[in-house]
Chains A and B, each alone.
Chain A
Amino acid sequence: MIRIGTREVALLGLVAVLSATLISLTLWLTRQPIAAARERAAERHLLEALPRLADRSDIALEPRPIPDQFLTGLGLSETAFAYQAIAGGRVLGIVVPTRSTRGYGGPIRLRVGFTPDGTIAGVRVVEHRETPGIGDRILNEKSDWLLTFAGRSRTDPAPSRWRLQEEGGAFDGISGATVSSRAVVEQIRAALHYFAEDSERLLAIPEPKDAP
């Protein structure tokens, strides 16, 4: 049996109060910067699909919900957002999320960045489960295959050639990873289609929410 004096308990309580005070103070002090830092990190991820804008600090990202009728085409099931990159009152780029269910190891989630005229600015793989060393070469860090899509648009190449070479298309697949390559090409095509269908809304500057 441990004998504990009142004075000791009071001291322990004091330490607890001191700890709680210190933590509350730090929380109060860091809440704003942490929220800002997290938001910046999330934006940096989004802007990776728009390489030309990635280094600019004056970009504001505005989420635009994707209408339900387009979700299936993009492989998305729940509410999803396209993001407008806005600076100086103009839309400079749009990031469209898309998800392929036809990957080799599971879904492949991509973000396709567009310039306002509908050309592809960049493609970024967000998540995938392709085989390491084979299918995962669709990742930006490991191959520049995704760079071949930059500068392309819905009409370049012609819509019938928006597929892999084996299928009579214009794009070289990654050797040994045809399934992964095909999934990516198809999904980029789907994003292009969505952008063309919904471009009017995607290019419009949204109304300020709290207009006076």
Chain B
Amino acid sequence: MNATPLTTLWQRNPVLVRLLALSPLLAMTQSLTAALGLGVATMIVTTSGAPLLAVLRSRLSPELLIAASALWVSALVLCVDLLMEAFWFSLHHRLGLFLPLMAAFALPLVDSDARKPMAAALEGLTTGIGFLLALVLMASIREALAHGSWFSEVSLLSGGTHGGLRLLPEHYHFAFWALPAGGFIIAGFLLALHRRYTTTASRPPAVRARVTTAATPPATPPGTD
């Protein structure tokens, strides 16, 4: 696959095109701060996890590669989880279960065809950025629609007391957009918009999740983790 950084970011965007990691996309986009935190954490895991897996790819049979990938990715996830609890305690508390859960949804994200460590790291980085961008975009829209604010929990990152922008009057609240149904609708609109601005010719086959399809029976469609 001739994946230049830009195609990974846009035409093969992990969320908008490959439909991976939808559960964190819905669960962690009620606030921009949480989305940013989870996005950056995922980016670190995909970038640092890819090089070793690229080296192993040509040396291990597919069955063992899955075991090695799962082991290595969950080890990295655990490390990021611990580091975040140590140095960004309140943000860690906010992300809760979704940090350890990263082990599940980051696994297909680090899956690529790259066999050179540097190329794999670059692809992991761009995949991570693609995930981060999708999360941030969705969270910006969702937080504005649901609470009329933008970045309201920024104090979790900076440690200050106040922050964020008030876009709509103080009492504006529209809980629907914070609920899963509202999240799905916004995600649908984003997908549609993305399709609209991606030409058919340059679009690769939509879903490609080798590790998940190989690891789980077809009962769970790839990408819904």
Interface of A is mostly: helix
User: Is B60 on the interface with A (CB-CB < 8 A)?
Assistant: yes
A34 with B75: CB separation less than 8 A: no
Interfacial chain B residues near A2, Cβ < 8 Å: 61, 63
Surface stretch bound by B, among A16-24, A67-75, A138-146: A16-24
Interfacial chain B residues near A4, Cβ < 8 Å: 61, 63-64
| Complex: A131 Cα to B78 Cα, angstroms | 38
Interfacial chain B residues near A11, Cβ < 8 Å: 56, 59-60, 64, 68
A30 with B89: CB separation less than 8 A: no
The residue that A8 contacts in the complex, of B60, B75, B83, B89, with Cβ under 8 A, is B60
**Total chain B interface residues with beta-carbon distance under 8 A:** 24
Q: Total contacts A to B, CB within 8 angstroms?
A: 66
The residue that B89 contacts in the complex, of A16, A19, A26, A40, with Cβ under 8 A, is A40
Which of B59, B82, B93 has the largest count of A CB atoms less than 10 A from its CB?
A: B82
User: Is A205 on the interface with B (CB-CB < 8 A)?
Assistant: no
Within 8 A of B (CB), among A65-124: none
Take A30-B85, A40-B89 as given contacts and tell me if A15 and B63 are in contact as well, using a CB distance cutoff of 8 Å: no
Interfacial chain A residues near B79, Cβ < 8 Å: 22-23, 26
Using an 8 Å CB-CB cutoff, how does the interface string of B69-98 with A read, 1 for contact, 0 for none?
Answer: 001101110110011011101100100000
B82 with A34: CB separation less than 8 A: yes
A-B contact pairs, 19 of them (CB 8 A): A4-B61, A4-B64, A8-B60, A11-B68, A18-B75, A22-B75, A22-B79, A23-B78, A26-B82, A27-B82, A29-B83, A29-B86, A30-B82, A30-B85, A34-B82, A37-B86, A38-B89, A40-B89, A41-B90
